[in-house]
A = this chain, B = another copy of it.
Amino acid sequence: MTPDPLSTKFAALADPTRRAILARLALGETSVSELAKPFAMSLPAVSKHLKVLEHAGLIGRSREAQWRPCRIEPEALKEVDGWLEQYRRLWEERFDRLDAYLNTLQAKEKKPRAAPKRPKPPR
């Protein structure tokens, strides 16, 4: 069974090297050898990661220039964001509840209190 496109994207993102490659490409397109530099990794190993990212639609590679620069494809990440959207209200509601609770605590703090009882002076 071929995985669905969203599963392929999540699987591609489940690797810190591939996420680091995306972070580098977010700064601008670059060549495979430039991409490989910060990693203690062979060119074939980097190429393998790039293939996974390309297959998931997360990056694209130009076929025009001979050095075939890689670029990030933000639309693919937007799809992941669209999936997350349906869950956003869950954590936002949670924060709203926490906020309401903190406001209740603060309101209690501000309530004018009866003057503290002073010990009676010794007679």
The answer to whether B23 touches A86 (Cβ under 8 A) is yes
Docked Cα-Cα span, A94 to B77, in Å, equals: 13
Residue of B10, B16, B72, B90 near A74 (CB, 8 A) is: B90
Q: How far is the CB of A96 from chain B (nearest CB, A)?
A: 12
Copies of the polypeptide in the assembly: 2
Count of chain A residues with Cβ under 8 Å from any Cβ of B? 31
Contact residues in B for A45 (Cβ distance below 8 Å): none
In terms of DSSP, what is the predominant structure of the interface of chain A?
Answer: helix
A1-18 near B? 1/0 per residue, CB < 8 Å: 001101111110111100
Q: How far is the CB of A45 from chain B (nearest CB, A)?
A: 15
Docked Cα-Cα span, A22 to B16, in Å, equals: 24
